[in-house]
Structure 1
Amino acid sequence: MHAAYVFRVTFTLDTRTVTADPDTFETVVTRPAADPGTEGWLFFRDTCWHGEVSDEAYLRDRAEEWLSVPVSGVTFSELRTDEAYLDALRDAIADDPAFDESPREALHNHLGSSIRVTD
């Protein structure tokens, strides 16, 4: 069972004492998804809404921690998952009383169409 959140992150080098050209870069950041029902599994609910980052400032701060560089922008690309993880995620949503919608609706509300199932 495997899954990861994929983001596009823009960062700028700290060039106080030197000049760099270019000094701004975009990279793809892949963050492993916690197993459904374990600590951190609600990351999708807490950070995404309709396939977009729901609080960019918060996620920029997290990306700065992940990359150790000043981040100027972050966008959500997809949840890349296998079928087993997606099934477990749906089951965990169905079992969690905090969700008042079906697992299908919850995933659509938070991730939109940004779920990619891989082998």
Structure 2
Amino acid sequence: MGSEFDRENDAAIRPEEARCGSAILDAGKSPADWVSWLQEYRQINIAERTLREKANRLGACFRIGNAMIITPDQIDEILTEDWKCRSNRTSEARSIGSKAGSNTTAARSPVHIDKARDRLRKLARGTG
């Protein structure tokens, strides 16, 4: 479950005697630990509260009582969540069927307006 990063760096963070053999407990970190690591090693500033909220919203965390543990796979999911949202926005705007209505913001074509006007005139005269 842990990434290559954790196997290389866990020894400095968690001494061998602190490991228990659980992939989640050995590779996972608290939100505060992730915030510190991101700031120190990647110069990424994120508030612990923001990280906790995103983890909760995505279900990308494990809980033991009130404690939260986030694994490397889950931190990847949390960090890529914003990119997924941006790339999916266009698909959300598509209408499905006539109930959704038009999502077109462009002005109507003069050609279509003239054709519609001609059609209404013919109907009014009774020749259409």
Where on the TM-score scale, by shorter chain, does this alignment land: which range?
under 0.3
Q: TM-score scaled by structure 2? A: 0.21
Structure with bigger gyration radius: 2
Larger strand share, 1 or 2: 1
